[in-house]
Amino acid sequence: MATAEEKMRAFLRKQIDPREFDAPEFQKDPFQVYKRLRDDHPVFHDRFHNRWVISRYWDIDSVFQSSEAYTRGIYDENGPYKFGSKHVFGPNILEYGVGDRHRWMRNVVAGQFVGQKLQDFLPVIDMIARELIEKLGQERNEFELVDEFSTQFPIRVISNMLGLPRSDEDRFVDWYQALIAGLGFGGEHLARGVAARNEMWEYLEPLIEARTREPGDDLLSRIIHAELDGKRMDMDEIKGFVALLLAAGGDTTDKAIANMWFHMLYTRPDQFPAVQENPELWSNVFTEMMRYDPVVHMQMRRTTKEIEMHGDVIPRGAMVLIYLGAGNRDERVFKDPDTFDVFRDDLHMGRENRSGRYKDGKPGHLGFGIGQHFCMGYAMARQEAVIACTHLANALVNPRPKFAEHPGISSPSIDSGGFRSPQELWITFDGKRALA
């Protein structure tokens, strides 16, 4: 029988110091902390950061499914706070909770990224992918994927979808990088992000005015003239939405492409030949990437009432951090969850849906959320990432990592914004094929 001292040591070993969440080691590899949370602290009261942490798959699912108990909003939408005034993007739906304003702004544009409207933009996605691939490795048979391809690709796609001048694509790539960094905690990053936003807004305003008078067949015109109950977004809301599309939407796809190639080259090179042989498997690579180490690892909510969970009571008005990255590795849901496997049979591998419930009975990844705040651009992100990776793999002869070792995927430093990805990924190859 264990002594009192031994019991105390065992108890202390299971405890989590909230400062671990801020450590560089956690930014690099959070998965051991996630496991300790799931096993010993499924509802963890983080007194240091004044929040509660939820880490198990079905508990996270319950948060997403209960929009009446957990809100994304911080401010009262009918209160004195001027929405967008403190956000680097300006007015956007991320600051709103579950009220009428959020539903209206979301519904104005959500339909632009699914169904036939998304299909109409597929030629643009295809064109940009081909153009960037053509430039890769022109002087030598190697290139750096992040800087030369994945960071460039989604921003050039969305700027073309918006109908912006192609000659200004480089400017949008620069603005995107500053906006994303501005989402972090560092004052210098925020200042640069706000400066980039203001430059972009000054650039956009005459274009918005022109499309208001003479709309085209582009996404910017659709956003300007979209109505719900006879109302349209105002100028600042339109500009804020463009910033959101460029930054948040672009960063998700950018990082997804880099992560998919990292896993094929370093995590599962044994499965890469099968993916090269059958390009349809890139869809599985995308899905498993979103489970195994998703681009976005966490979301925040605020409780609207007291919540009982695992013997704890989360108070009304508390901040709740839900770790999607932890839920996706939950041993209670997925077999051998710490193994990346494109042939996994316990994960829904097809297209995501808002309900998180699938006809095949398999659980899906949590990376796009579930329910009312389900990612608007989910279908576009999947299409862009799969198309880009498929074209790139088809074009390259014998693609392989330039370096035998790689530092891996990590989150950015906590003073800057952005999602999880490799900082760089060098690829070498023997030649390029012409794309059909």
The range of the structural domain enclosing residue 267 comes to 33-432
Token pair in block for residue 220: 């910017």
Three-state DSSP class for residue 308: strand
* CATH code for position 106: 1.10.630.10
Residue 8 forms part of a structural domain: no
Residue 2 forms part of a structural domain: no
Rounded CA gap, 57 and 327, in Å? 4
- How confident is the model at residue 104, as a pLDDT? 75
Kindly report, residue by residue over 233-243, the tens digit of the pLDDT.
889 888 888 88
Kindly report, residue by residue over 138-168, the tens digit of the pLDDT.
888 999 999 999 999 999 999 998 999 999 9
- How confident is the model at residue 9, as a pLDDT? 67
Residue 23 forms part of a structural domain: no
Kindly report, residue by residue over 19-41, the tens digit of the pLDDT.
999 999 999 999 999 999 999 99
Number of structural domains found in the chain: 1
CB atoms within 10 A of CB 322: 25
Residue 297 forms part of a structural domain: yes
Residue 173 forms part of a structural domain: yes
End-to-end CA distance of the chain: 71
Long-range contacts, 134-142 (Cβ 8 Å, 24+) = 136/432, 137/429, 137/432, 141/428, 141/429, 141/430, 141/431, 142/402, 142/426, 142/427, 142/428, 142/429
Kindly report, residue by residue over 371-420, the tens digit of the pLDDT.
888 888 888 999 999 999 999 999 999 999 999 999 999 998 877 777 89
Residue 250 forms part of a structural domain: yes
Asked if residues 108 and 226 have their Cβ atoms less than 8 Å apart, the reply is yes
Residue 255 forms part of a structural domain: yes
Residue 225 has pLDDT above 80, yes or no: yes
pTM above threshold 0.85: yes
Rounded CA gap, 306 and 302, in Å? 11
Residue 24 forms part of a structural domain: no
> Where residue 78 falls among pLDDT bands split at 50, 70, 90?
confident
Asked if residues 327 and 299 have their Cβ atoms less than 8 Å apart, the reply is no
> Chain-centre distance of CA 413, in angstroms?
16
Phi-psi category of residue 320: left, alpha or beta, with phi > 0 → left and psi -120 to 50 → alpha: beta
Contacts of 182 (CB under 8 A, 6+ apart): 88, 189, 190, 191, 192, 193, 194, 196, 197, 417
Rounded CA gap, 276 and 259, in Å? 16
